[in-house]
């Protein structure tokens, strides 16, 4: 195996795709975001990194709230459309049916299977991007996307994004159970006794 | 459509899986991490959120360096194994073949299709987790995982993780091109003229 050095870019494969919502000057606006991850389990906290120039970011700064909406495969066109047009020039409030929860200023997407209401608990400026830490204060979903009270990824059918080739991908089949499938490794390899 | 409120947990579907490497007391150690995302394009910067109790985190704090290794499907057992055992009790340095780059203290996994060398540029303590911002200073891959000089997700075959059910999933088929497929939405819906 010979490794070669390749030009340095931020490579992370693959990334989740969410629609982040905020009210900008009182009107709902949405942006697709793949630069997002969980940072804390309790209190449940998620972060997003977004260009400072995004229209939605202005709404997050103003209201200190945002929503995280997980789109299903069927919403891929509408999701991508939100990334093609800017709320500075187009009114995105009519693309989806919108509802609000307790936070009042975090517009959520009815058509998206899973909706999180977040209040900003930290805000970091970072070069051309800014990072919002959102504590999730409420979570909403339709019954048909749940297994018990938990969102079921197989029912939601979310999709992922690969950056360098700019593609969206479906999820494939189950590969294994975490904290379980690794036991096979131990059994088969006997690396560590 | 009726939404119901569900118990609040950090729901993000699905998340990438990487193996983060660091030297702990001079010995390579690895932990699987799904709480990771890109935060900046230039300089290319990635962050990870990891429990403060993780053995690997100690190495990152000590050396101010870490590696991000993208495993392929074939490495799922070894990856998961790294999450089952702790470097405090087991020597993980023999699970993979390890190589080093310019940073000297960021151990990389030869078997992983893509390896990033990162130096810590920011460090935030956050409740039970800590967040490391890593500027990617070098990237390594074998020729067979590249398309030109760019890592090819279809060749790498990375996998993703869903937290609430603790499952690893394969990637599925191509869903569409970003900043392209959204044009169909505009054409079909005429929501915005």
In chain A, what's the furthest Cα-to-Cα distance?
Answer: 63
pLDDT at A193: 38
Can you tell me the distance from the alpha carbon of B70 to that of B73, in angstroms, rounded to the nearest whole number?
A: 10
Going by the DSSP 8-state scheme, the letter that residue B127 receives in this structure is T
**CA A180 → CA A91, B27, B155, B162, distances in Å?**
48, 26, 26, 14
Alpha-carbon gap, residue B47 to B106, rounded angstroms? 15
- 8 A C-beta contact, residue A18 and residue B12: yes
List the single best residue of A18, A31, A32, A38 to mutate versus B (max B Cβ within 10 A). A38
**Closest residue by Cα to residue A53 from A92, A87, A10:** A87
ipTM of the prediction greater than 0.90, yes or no: yes
| Cβ contact, residue pair B40, A46, below 8 Å | no
Which of B8, B28, B37 should one mutate to test binding to chain A, selecting the residue with the greatest count of A CBs within 10 A? B37
Q: Express each pLDDT in A45-68 by its tens digit.
A: 999 999 999 999 999 999 999 999
pLDDT tens per residue, range A68-84: 999 999 999 999 999 99
pLDDT in tens, A103-127: 999 999 999 999 999 999 999 999 9
Residue range A140-157, pLDDT digits in tens = 999 999 999 999 999 999
- List chain A residues with CB under 8 Å of B140: 3-6
More confident: A159 or B93: A159
For the cut 60, the answer to whether the pLDDT of residue B66 exceeds it is: yes
Q: Is the pTM of this model over 0.90?
A: yes
pLDDT bucket at B192, cuts 50 / 70 / 90: very low
Query: For B158-171, b where at least 16 C-beta lie within 10 A, e where not — what string?
Result: bbbbbbbbebbbbb
- Please give the residue of chain A at the shortest CA–CA distance from B91: A192
Cα–Cα separations (whole angstroms), residue B138 to A7, B44, B167: 8, 10, 31
Q: Rg of the Cα trace of chain B?
A: 19
Cross-chain Cβ contact B182/A83 below 8 Å: yes
- Could you check whether the bond before residue A80 is cis, i.e. omega within 30 degrees of 0? no
- pLDDT on residue B51: 95
| Whether residue A6 has pLDDT greater than 60 | yes
Quote the pLDDT of residue A192: 45
Architecture of domain A15-189: Roll (2.30)
Q: Do A178 and B168 touch (CB under 8 A)?
A: yes
Structure tokens at A138: 């409420």
**pLDDT-based confidence at B69, cuts 50/70/90?**
very high
- How far does A106 lie from chain B, in Å, by closest CA? 15
Beta strand A36-40 with A129-142 is unpaired
User: Predicted confidence band at A186 (pLDDT cuts at 50, 70, 90)?
Assistant: confident
- Chain A residue closest in CA terms to B77: A182
Residue-wise pLDDT for B119-166, tens only, equals 999 999 999 999 999 999 999 999 999 999 999 999 999 999 999 899
Tokens for B133? 């911002």
Task: Summarize pLDDT for B112-124 with one digit per residue, the tens.
Answer: 999 999 999 999 9
Nearest to B37 by CA among A20, A27, A191, A101: A20
Give the distance from residue B80's alpha carbon to the nearest chain A alpha carbon, in angstroms: 5
Within 8 A of B170 by CB-CB distance, chain A residues are 171-175
Q: What is the mean pLDDT of chain A?
A: 95
CB–CB contact B172 A167 (8 Å): no
**Residues B76, A175: C-beta atoms closer than 8 Å:** yes
- Mean per-residue pLDDT for B10-25? 97
Compute the nearest-CA separation of B89 from chain A (Å).
11
Pick the residue of A1, A2, A13, A42 with the most B CBs within 10 A to test the interface with B by mutation.
Answer: A13
Distance from CA of A61 to the nearest CA of B (A): 18
**In chain B, which residue ranges form alpha helices assigned H by DSSP?**
55-63, 76-84, 153-156, 182-189
**DSSP 3-state of B183:** helix
Q: Are A114 and A144 in contact (CB under 8 A)?
A: no
CB < 8 Å to B150, chain A: 6, 9, 164-165
Q: Which residues of A touch B16 (CB under 8 A)?
A: 12-16
Tokens of A73: 């495969």
| 3-state secondary structure string across chain A | CCEEEECCCCCCCCEECEEEEEEECCEEEEEEECCEEEEECCCCEEEEEEECCCHHHHHHHHHCEEEEEECCHHHHHHHHHHHHCCCCCCCHHHCCCEECCCCCCCCEECCCCEEEEEEEEEEEEECCEEEEEEEEEEEEEEHHHEECCEECHHHHCCCEEECCCCEEEEEEEEEEECCCCHHHHHHHHCCCC
Indicate the range of A160-169, B9-18, B85-94 predicted with least confidence. B85-94
Query: How far apart (Å, rounded) are the C-alpha atoms in residues B83 and B76?
Result: 11
Task: Assess whether pLDDT exceeds 50 at residue B184.
Answer: yes
Test B80 with A181 for CB contact under 8 angstroms. Answer: yes
Cross-chain Cβ contact B42/A128 below 8 Å: yes
* All structural domains of chain B with their residue ranges: 15-189
Question: Average pLDDT, stretch B89-104?
Answer: 94
Of A14, A42, A49, the CB nearest to B171: A14
* CB contact set of B92 (below 8 Å; sequence gap of 6+): A192, B28, B29, B30, B82, B85
pLDDT at A25 exceeding the cut of 60: yes
Collect all residues with Cβ–Cβ distance below 8 Å to B43 and sequence separation of at least 6: A127, B135, B136
d(CA A98, CA A28): 8
Report how far residue A51's alpha carbon sits from residue A146's, in angstroms, rounded to the nearest whole number: 33
């Amino acid at each position: 195996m010979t490794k070669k050095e390749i030009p340095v870019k931020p490579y992370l494969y693959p990334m989740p795709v969410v629609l982040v919502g905020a009210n900008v000057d009182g009107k709902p606006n949405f942006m697709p975001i793949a630069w997002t991850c969980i940072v804390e389990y309790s209190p449940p906290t998620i972060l997003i990194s977004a260009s400072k120039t995004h229209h939605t970011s202005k709404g997050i700064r103003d209201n200190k709230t945002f929503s995280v909406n997980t789109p299903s495969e069927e919403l891929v066109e509408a999701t991508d459309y939100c990334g093609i047009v800017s709320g500075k020039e187009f009114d995105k409030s009519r693309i989806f049916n919108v509802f609000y929860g307790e936070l009042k200023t975090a517009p959520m997407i009815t058509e998206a299977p899973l909706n999180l209401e977040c209040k900003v608990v930290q805000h970091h400026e970072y070069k051309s991007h800014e990072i919002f830490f959102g504590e999730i204060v409420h979570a909403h979903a339709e019954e048909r996307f749940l297994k018990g009270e938990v969102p079921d990824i197989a029912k939601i059918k979310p999709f992922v994004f690969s950056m360098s080739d700019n593609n969206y991908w479906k999820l494939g089949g189950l590969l294994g159970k975490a904290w379980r499938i690794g036991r096979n490794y131990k059994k088969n390899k006997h690396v560590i006794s």
